Amino acid sequence: MTKKHVKVLRTTWLDGPSIWTYKPAIETLLDIQELEQYPSHLLPGFTDRLIAYLPGLYEHQCGVGVPGGFIERLRDGTYAAHILEHITIELHNMIGQHVKFGKARMASQEGVYKMVFHTTDRKVGLACFESAMRLLQACIDDQAFDMQSELAALRQVAKRHAMGDSTRQIVEAARKRKIPVLRMNNSNLIQLGQGYKQEQIWGAETSRTSAIADGVASDEELTRQILGMCGVPVPDEDEVADLEAKARSGAHGHFYRLLMMKGQLVAASQILNNELNKSQDKISHVDVTAQVHADIVRNASLAAKLVGLNIAGVDLVCDRIDQDLSNQRMQVLRLACRPDLSLHSTLNNEDGRSVADMIIDSLFDENEDGRIPVVSYSGGPESLGLGQAIHAMLTMAGHKTALSSKKGLNLIDHYVDHAKDISQTTNWFAGRRCLISKQVQAAVMRVDALSILSEGLPFDRSSVAVLTSLGPREGLEEWDILDGSKHFNVMRTAVDVVLSNGCAVLNADDVGLLPIAKLCDGEVIWFASSPENGILQEHFRQGGRAVYLLDGMIHYQTGTGASTRLISMSSFKGLLSAEGAMAAIAAAWALNVTPELIHASLAFYLEKGWAKNPSNQRV
C-alpha cells in the first residue's frame, strides 16, 4: 500500500510570540512518510498541476528572495511539508486573510517535520491547512480538485470566525502604534492596551460608547423619533425603504454615509449602488469627504450628539452633498454605532491617516501605547519565590500588581486560584488574565519552556524578562527539544520580546545565558555571586548595571562607580535563593523602584513569609 501522503501528528495553536514568530501561528507536526523519498521534481506533473490551481504561488519568493522563487524550488525539488506551508499561506490570501509568514523544518526523526504558518484566527488557519492537505494529495494523485467549492467553504469559515473588516483595520492601526492587541472572543471584541490602560472595540464601536447610545442607535424608529423632535430632518417610517432604494439606484437623490467622530466629520462616501462587488465582497462607493457642505455636516453632527455616539455612521439621502439645504431636501435615515469602515477605504487625507488611524488616535494620546509594566521570569528551583518578591516590591511602589506563579494566580491583592496543578497558573490563560483586568497596573508572570512551546507567550512584548537559568528540560522531548541548543532557542523567546526601553535580568554565573544578552533590544542587568565575575567586570567597564553578593550582603552598582549595600542575604532565612533575591532586586531596579522601597518591601515580604504561604497576600 502506497504511503505517498502526509500524516498529521499534532497541531498546536500558538496565540502569542513563540520560537517561530511574534505573531499568532499554528504549528503542525507532520510525518511525510514515503514522500521523503519523493520531492516535488520526482512527482510527474505535480508542479504544473499545483500551479494551475494556485497561480498566486508565482508571487511567493521563498528563500530565493524574488517572485517565482518558490516555483523554482518546486521545479528543483522540495519536500511535502514545505509545499504544504506555501499552499496554506496562499489559501489564506485567496480568501482575503493576508498572510506571509511560514516555515518548515525537519525534526530529529527522519521524515518528520515541523511546519508553522501565521494565521489571523485558529479556526480559519486549521480550515486552510486541511484544505491544503486535500489539494496536495489531489495534485500528487493527479485527481480532480474543486477549487471553487473549497474557496467558498473557506470564505464561510472566515466570515464566521475571522475579524471583520472594520475590526481588522483598527487592529492594524493599533499595531502600527505598537499598542498591544488582545482578541477577547471569536468575533470582533478586541482589547487594545493592557490592564487599567486598556480600551475596547467591537467593530468600529469603542468602549467610549455608552450602552444607552448603542441601544438607541440600534432602534431605527426610536432614533428617527429623537432626531425629528430636535429638528434633524428624517423621513416617516413608511418612507424609509423607498427613499433608500431610489437613492441607491440613483433614481431620486443620492445615498451617503457620513462618518462622524466626536461630532466632527472625518469621512464621507457616496454609495453608488446596492450591488456588492462580487470580486471584493464590498459595496461600491466613492469618497466625497472634501465636498460635504457645512449645513449637512451640522445636521449629521447634531444627529450623532443627540443619540450620544462618539463614533457614528450617519446614513442620509439628498440631491447634492455639496449644496446647502435652502434648495434641497436632506433626510437622515439611520445612525450606525458600528459603522463599516470599508465604506471609507478610498479616503485620501493629506496627512495619510486612515479612518482607523483616527479612531486609534481618539482612544490613545500621541505618546501613549496602552502598556503596563509586564515582567516575565523563568528558571529552575532557584527561582522559587521570585515572582512573589517582585510582586511585593511593585505593590509597595504603588502598582496594583497581578501575579501568575507556581503559587497560583493573584489578581492585585488576593489569590483567585491557588495552584493545584502548576500548569494551570503558569500557562497562557493565566498570564492573559493578568492583562485583561481593568484594575491591574503591572503584571508579573512565570513563563517556562513548555508553555512557550505549547501555547506561546501571553503578551506581545515585556518590560523586563528575568532568567535565573534556562530551567529544566525534562518533559520537552515530545516537542523535539533534545539538547541544550534547542532548549536555549526556546527560552530566548522571553528575551526576544523585551521592549527597546525594557530590560533583561540575567544570571552571570550561568555562562550559557551570555549569548542571550545580545538578543535583548533593551538594557541588560546582570547578577552574580561575586563582583569578580568576568561578565560583571566587563559590563561595569561598559557602564552597565549589576547586582551581586559580597560578604553576605547584596550590592548594586552602575559602571565602575562605588557600589551600594542593600540587604543581608541572611535576612531571607531560606525563603529565597541568592539567585532569586538578586534577580528580584534587579527586576525592581529595572522598573525604577527606589532602593528604599526595595528594602522596605523585601522586609515586609520576609516578615509575612509570602514565599511559603501565598495566603499572606495583602500589602
Question: Which cell numbers hold the place of 436?
Answer: 485583561
Specify whether the CB–CB gap between 241 and 221 falls below 8 A.
Answer: no
477-524 pLDDT, tens digit per residue, is 999 999 999 999 999 999 999 999 999 999 999 999 999 999 999 999
Specify whether the CB–CB gap between 354 and 365 falls below 8 A.
Answer: no
pLDDT at 275 over 60: no
In this prediction, residue 426 carries a pLDDT of 62
Among 558, 541, 545, 563, residue whose Cα is nearest residue 503: 545
Confidence of residue 116 (pLDDT cuts 50, 70, 90): very high
Q: Poorest-confidence range of 150-164, 384-398, 446-460? A: 384-398
3-state secondary structure (DSSP) of residue 573: coil
For range 407-435, the mean pLDDT: 74
Query: In sequence order, which ranges of 343-483 are alpha helices (DSSP H)?
Result: 355-363, 386-396, 428-436, 449-454
Residue 76 to residues 63, 153, 223, Cα–Cα distance (Å) = 13, 33, 65
In this prediction, residue 606 carries a pLDDT of 78
In this prediction, residue 175 carries a pLDDT of 95
For range 354-375, the mean pLDDT: 95
Specify whether the CB–CB gap between 549 and 508 falls below 8 A.
Answer: no
In this prediction, residue 200 carries a pLDDT of 96
In this prediction, residue 183 carries a pLDDT of 94
For range 41-51, the mean pLDDT: 96
Q: pLDDT > 70: what percent of the chain?
A: 94
pLDDT at 171 over 80: yes
Instruction: Identify which has the larger pLDDT, 303 or 617.
Output: 303
Question: Which cell numbers hold the place of 76?
Answer: 528543483
In this prediction, residue 141 carries a pLDDT of 95
What distance in Å separates the CA atoms of residue 138 and residue 44, rounded to the nearest whole number?
A: 13
Among 393, 403, 447, 371, residue whose Cα is nearest residue 589: 393
In this prediction, residue 418 carries a pLDDT of 58
Specify whether the CB–CB gap between 517 and 499 falls below 8 A.
Answer: no
Q: Poorest-confidence range of 158-167, 238-247, 295-304? A: 238-247
pLDDT at 350 over 90: no
In this prediction, residue 437 carries a pLDDT of 92
Q: What letter represents residue 151's amino acid? A: L
pLDDT at 589 over 50: yes
Q: Is the dihedral of CA 421, 426, 431, 432 positive or negative?
A: negative
For range 71-92, the mean pLDDT: 97
Residue 67 to residues 56, 57, 71, 378, Cα–Cα distance (Å) = 10, 9, 9, 42
**Mean pLDDT, the chain, whole residue set:** 91
Torsion angle, alpha carbons of 534, 537, 540, 545, to 10: 50
Q: First CA to last CA across the chain, in angstroms?
A: 68
Question: Which cell numbers hold the place of 404?
Answer: 501568575
For range 163-179, the mean pLDDT: 94
In this prediction, residue 186 carries a pLDDT of 81
In this prediction, residue 421 carries a pLDDT of 53
- Rounded to the nearest angstrom, the gap between the alpha carbon of residue 599 and the centroid of all alpha carbons in its chain is 36
What distance in Å separates the CA atoms of residue 245 and residue 257, rounded to the nearest whole number?
A: 14
> How big is the CA angle at 235 (ends 234 and 240), to the nearest 5 degrees?
125
pLDDT at 174 over 70: yes
For range 203-223, the mean pLDDT: 94
Residue 18 to residues 450, 487, 535, 589, 607, Cα–Cα distance (Å) = 11, 13, 28, 27, 38
Question: Which cell numbers hold the place of 107?
Answer: 525534526
Residue with cell 474543486: 146
For range 595-611, the mean pLDDT: 78
Among 7, 5, 24, residue whose Cα is nearest residue 117: 24
For range 176-184, the mean pLDDT: 95
305-349 pLDDT, tens digit per residue, is 999 999 999 999 999 999 999 989 999 999 999 999 988 877 767
Query: How many CA atoms does the CB half-sphere of 394 hold within 13 Å?
Result: 30
Among 365, 317, 394, 455, residue whose Cα is nearest residue 18: 455
**Strands 401-405 and 442-446: what pairing?**
parallel
Q: pLDDT > 90: what percent of the chain?
A: 80
Query: How many CA atoms does the CB half-sphere of 331 hold within 13 Å?
Result: 18
**Strands 374-378 and 462-467: what pairing?**
parallel
In this prediction, residue 619 carries a pLDDT of 35
What distance in Å separates the CA atoms of residue 354 and residue 171, rounded to the nearest whole number?
A: 12
In this prediction, residue 417 carries a pLDDT of 63
Question: Which cell numbers hold the place of 601?
Answer: 518591601
For range 526-532, the mean pLDDT: 97
Q: What letter represents residue 431's amino acid? A: G
User: Which pTM was predicted?
Assistant: 0.90
pLDDT at 1 over 50: no
Torsion angle, alpha carbons of 221, 203, 131, 96, to 10: 100
Residue with cell 505549547: 454
